[in-house]
Amino acid sequence: MIYFDNSATTQAAPTVLDTYTKVSQQVWGNPSSLHNFGESAYQLLEQSRQQIADLLNVKAREIFFTSGGTEGDNWVLKGTAMEKRTFGKHLITTAVEHPAIHNSMEQLKELGFDVTYLPVDQEGRISIDDLKAAIRPDTILVSVMAVNNEIGTIQPLQAVADVLKDYPKIHFHIDAVQGIGKGIQKLIMNDRVDFVTFSGHKFHATRGVGFIYARTGRKLAPLMAGGGQENNWRSGTENLPAIAGMAKALRLLLTDEDQKVARERAVKQRIYDHIKDFAKVDIFSRPTDGFAPHILCFTINGVRGETIVHAFEDQGIYISTTSACSSKKHMASSTLMAMHTPEAVATSAVRISLDENNTLAEADEFNQIFDKLYQRFSKINADA
């Protein structure tokens, strides 16, 4: 099996699973309990928080645990809206965000908030001039993803940060779910960002756990009311085994990060160089610094994306149709549609997404199978 669908989810690392199991079996007290068993759980919880904070060069009190990226995005957007609604009801995001952002914004519109969706260019990237023009006196939030989950575009995060330095009251949020461990941590954790969303299962932790970074001094209204965990910001008994495992996964991810990114980029380049000259192939992810090293989105024009996915699956190679969240709904890529790509092309889009364990040998095998499938699809289209 060759697994090229790491943007959908990664395989939990064996040592992460080992940590998860040991904590489940040995430290299963509630961190909120007063007895020694609860205190042991609390200490492990705080050790995990400190480890994550140290890896990101932030304060431990700025890390808040969640159930994953979707909750984190919902919390920052809706928590900002609730916290700052007396100061304004205008929010800004991009036209190519993950559904966790887009659909949250649409819900806020139904509650009377005004949302501006910034358009993107032919590489899926926003214009800083458009951002400047969109800001209003009642703007309370700007939310921009670090890396597009469908085609891998890296947004101009530092340029956004530079603009927002002149607007200190506006919350600046980055969805970094696809960006962590991809060599752009300085862009993500820039000197102006207020909130950042992370999801554990995107970097070899287990599912159902994540965290947000929240800059000291910024406030969010809680979405989860209850026992007052996470400093009264996010109630609910913490998922300690998953949190401890996630802290280990993040440490492993960021160890030798440059070498891992280089391996991913080399695999992407090998595939890109092979498929780029085929007549019916369009590629939307460039092998340049403006794109993440691990995502390659392409089409075989005239063949639907799900057909391509299943054809590769039959050969033991697992890829996806752009976003995993929309793949079973047979939806065209929302990013490509926002880039004004013809719908017939957008419905053909598929995504390869790599991690540090993928190899050049796997890329070569993919290329060989690609040749066979391309010939098959060409013959079918010619006979149709």
How does pLDDT run along the chain (384 residues), one tens digit per residue? 999 999 999 999 999 999 999 999 999 998 988 899 889 999 999 999 999 999 999 999 999 999 999 999 999 999 999 999 999 999 999 999 999 999 999 999 999 999 999 999 999 999 999 999 999 999 999 999 999 999 999 999 999 999 999 999 999 999 999 999 999 999 999 999 999 999 999 999 999 999 999 999 999 999 999 999 999 999 999 999 999 999 999 999 999 999 999 999 999 999 999 999 999 999 999 999 999 999 999 999 999 999 999 999 999 999 999 755 554 555 678 899 999 999 989 999 999 999 999 999 999 999 999 999 999 998 877 664
Let me know how many helices (H) and strands (E) the chain has, helices first.
14, 12
* Cβ atoms within 10 Å, residue 255: 11
Strand order across the beta sheet in which 295-300 lies: 281-283, 295-300, 349-353
Residue 112 has, within 13 A of its CA and on its CB side, a CA count of 6
Structure tokens at 376: 């098959």
Residue showing tokens 């891992």: 260
Pairing of strands 210-214, 195-199: antiparallel
DSSP character at residue 195:
E
According to the model, what pLDDT value does residue 279 have?
94
Residue listed under structure tokens 């095998």: 365
Confidence at residue 33, expressed as pLDDT on a 0 to 100 scale: 86
The pLDDT assigned to 363 comes to: 98
Cβ contact 349:299 at 8 Å = yes
Query: Going by C-beta distance under 8 Å and a sequence separation of 6 or more, which residues neighbour residue 131?
Result: 92, 118, 142, 160, 163
Place of tokens 């039959």: 314
Q: Are 92 and 60 in contact (CB under 8 A)?
A: no
Q: Give the pLDDT confidence score for residue 291 in this predicted structure.
A: 98
The CA distance from 301 to 373, in Å, is: 13
Instruction: Output b/e per residue, 59-74; b: 16+ Cβ within 10 A.
Output: eeebbbbbbbbbbbbb
Q: What is the pLDDT of residue 110?
A: 97
Return the pLDDT at 330.
Answer: 54
DSSP 47-74: HHHHHHHHHHTS-GGGEEEES-HHHHHH
Residues designated catalytic: 325
Cβ atoms of 188 and 180 closer than 8 Å: yes
At residue 332, the pLDDT reads 73
Cβ atoms of 280 and 274 within 8 Å: the answer is no
Neighbour-count burial for 171-184, b at 16+ CB within 10 Å, e otherwise = bbbbbbbbbbbbbb
